[in-house]
Structure 1
Amino acid sequence: MSNLEQLSLYLSVNRNNGFVDGVDLQQNIINYLPRLNQFRFKIRSTILLNNQTDLLSNEDIQHTFKNFSNSQIISCVNYFLESNKGQCHIYSCPFTIRSYENIANNFPGGLFTYVCNVSLFDERPFEHEFFIRIAQSFPFIKKLSINNRKAQKNKQNRKLKNNNQDLLIIEYPYLKWLDFDEAHDDYVEQFLLDTKTCLPSNVDLLIDYKPLKRVTHNFRRKTTQNNCAKVRYRCWEKISRFPKHFKDYFLETTNV
């Protein structure tokens, strides 16, 4: 093991004693591998918050990598006070794995051409500009899951900040799977309104029936019909009676 020259490490861990950082990697891995010349990693560590007052910032985590001179290291720290949890992503560049989980609003951006599976989570609202950043950072995204119960604050604003252009319509040309996991209705609108998003054909849509019915105005709303006509709605609930026009609103409907 001490002769190892290349190492790729991809972990998601829960810890009681702080986030995984550069000091951890140096003391517990690198110091034991003297011949290591290539170390790629993507680590997401989660901690429980117990009324700490000395919470580490992203700059604090980044400082622990000051001796990692051979590669660019990105860190991203979040604290979710309602969930009483903290989360820290650290990863080396280039980013070569196929998934990126639990992205929040302070996601630093970048270009992730290998990533096709993305999940989003935050306790603060995701605005339209955030989804623009996601689409630009993950141009080959195929599977997207959204978990956010907070209503958007700027959804009525038809102008981008510091820009006089109309609201940009976002495209996800390779998207195949769209999952609204405990998502506010605003995010269903974000993806189904053709004034905000242009979905490709043959997208599998996973969402509870009631919010879908609300957002589409009982499957009669014109501005959501264009995108709904491109999706296969996967309904896992037992609905006793659908509206007559329900199935005509989607490309395909299936009970799962």
Structure 2
Amino acid sequence: MEYSSVQLNDLSDEILLIIFKNLNNIDLLYSLIGVNKRLNNIVHDSMFTSSLTLFNHSSYNNIYSLSDLMLDRFCFQILPSIHHKIKWIDVEISSMKRILCANYPILSGLGIYNIEKDTDLDIFTDETSLMYILKNQISSLMIESSSNQGRPRDFHSWFSSFQRISFGYSLPTVFSSTLLELRVKVTSVDDCLFLLDGRFNQLRAFYVDIASSLPKSNFKINKEKLPNLRCFSLYCFSEIRFYDNIIIPLLHRMSNLEELALYLSSVVCDKKFIDGNNLKQNIIDYMPELNQFRFSIHSTILLKDQIDLPSNEDIKHSFKDFSNNKIISCVNYFFEAKYGQCHIYSCPYPIPTYENISNNFPSGLFRYVSDVSLFDEYPFEYEFFIQIAQSFPLLKNLTITNQKGQNNKQYRKSNNNNEDFLLIRYPHLKYLHFKQTHNDYIEQFLLDTKTCLPYDILLFTDFKSLQRVTHNFTRNATRINCSKMRYICFDRISRFPKHFKNYFLDTEIHVL
């Protein structure tokens, strides 16, 4: 540290600030507080001390506590020296009590992560210094669990002081007349409706993520208006069969909305796709104050020998009155599976997930999409994967479902037939899933002459398909890419080949 501090002291304050802004502020504080007076003054700036995230992320987005050594230094030395400058702290549940035992006079925001057990929530009922902070200082609270098994808890006695709350999949029994903004992940649509039954009558913004779309059969729909609500966001990535019976009546209660976001991954419709006419007649016409409408909606219909099926041009035409938004549509008919699908979305594309991309993919650049799934009943050729790699530069999670083999396995650069085919690069890929996939696609990703992969990818695929593509884990052409992968096997295999485990970076066997 002495050598590095001498190097840093040779730089001006302006240069140091530019460098430090691009570093993790926790690492910065841990490394530089106490080194010398000049560096101490710089890292005490509010840009480095006002908001702290005191836990680590793994490469697969798992959250874990700081090391004991690092935590000791923060609790005994660093936090006491900057406690009067901290406005927001994100903590992992196991280290929370140690971190929050200090006095934070201007702390107003708190994020609590990795709640796993029901007993973890006892921190909200104990009469401790933590509860004093929660009751008297915090106006913005986020609670994120690492499992969906949490049961409803009664936080009524202290929640009335919060103005913004966010939960994981654990629904509290709570009433508040002061809550203005609520961000919540719930188990079912019933929970969403439950939270809008009047218990938060001053609510102005509601962001809800629904895990399961199946409502209880005896649940009653509340028709009472929500006049104070100005912003509503609904995110549901499970199959929806209640669009007309629950979603539309719910939206009709929000006549004063100014901002609306609907992200629905699979709406099952009786006869017609959800198109521009549907959105206008059932939603927009009921919201005269609406000035921002973001959406990504997949709707499906069953194919039952219909004669007049809508084309993509028909869907585009239905948005002729949406003059303030650029709307993209994509229509696919899967006659083997006997269903049709229509995807409509506002631009710029509003969410980090793009599902069920087919050969009809409308292309474009999706800078913030990291999770992509591909499906079709026609082969994906090599050019298609070039398009996917170019359209999604930050792709991390890729799922491929296609049982049809490729017609052309090689794609060569048109300007020089003597060169190898264009190498496709996925520099940020972390998860690769093959579900009911032809061996051609597995081979394409495993051949290092076709695909360039980063180090440490989780691979999910059928063992026998993988065995065939790699020639029983002896094929040199697939060895390089496999050596970068952690293979997760769920198949029941009586005996693994000799070279199996050494062929990959790592292997994990999970027998279901």
- TM bracket (short chain): over 0.9
Residue deviations 1:86-106 (CA, integer Å, cap 9, x gap): 001000001120111111001
What does residue 238 of structure 1 align with?
492
Root-mean-square deviation (CA, aligned residues, Å) is: 1.1
Indicate the structure (1 or 2) with the bigger Cα radius of gyration.
Answer: 2
CA contact (8 A) 2:482 2:505 kept: yes
Residue among 499, 504, 507 paired with 1:250 = 504
What does residue 384 of structure 2 align with?
130
Distance 1:194 1:100 in 2: 26
What does residue 218 of structure 1 align with?
472
Q: What amino acid is the match of 2:422?
A: L
Distance 1:137 1:197 in 2: 16
Residue deviations 1:141-177 (CA, integer Å, cap 9, x gap): 111111000000011x4435x6546421111111111
Q: Give unmatched runs, 5+ long, in structure 1.
A: none
Distance 1:137 1:148 in 2: 20
Distance 1:32 1:164 in 2: 59
Shift of 1:23: 0.1
Shift of 1:81: 0.6
What does residue 86 of structure 1 align with?
340
TM-score, with structure 2 as normaliser: 0.49
What does residue 18 of structure 1 align with?
272
What does residue 4 of structure 1 align with?
257
Percent identity, please: 64
Q: What amino acid is the match of 1:56?
A: P
What does residue 192 of structure 1 align with?
446
* SS in structure 1 at match of 2:480: helix
Q: What is the correspondence of 1:147-158 to structure 2 with a 5 Å cutoff?
A: 147-155=401-409, 157-158=410-411
Q: Which of the two has greater strand per residue?
A: 1
What does residue 201 of structure 1 align with?
455
**Within the alignment, does 1:98 sit opposite 2:347 as a pair?**
no
* SS in structure 1 at match of 2:487: strand
* SS in structure 2 at match of 1:241: coil
Distance 2:350 2:507 in 1: 35
TM-score, with structure 1 as normaliser: 0.96
Distance 2:309 2:499 in 1: 53
* SS in structure 2 at match of 1:108: coil
Shift of 1:244: 1.6
Distance 1:61 1:194 in 2: 41
Q: Give unmatched runs, 5+ long, in structure 2.
A: 1-253
Shift of 1:3: 1.3
CA contact (8 A) 2:262 2:295 kept: yes
Distance 2:421 2:340 in 1: 33
Higher relative contact order (CA 8 A, sep 6+): 1
Residue deviations 1:80-126 (CA, integer Å, cap 9, x gap): 01011100100000112011111100101111112111111000000
CA contact (8 A) 2:366 2:393 kept: yes
Residue among 418, 424, 430 paired with 1:170 = 424
* SS in structure 2 at match of 1:50: coil
Q: What amino acid is the match of 2:482?
A: C
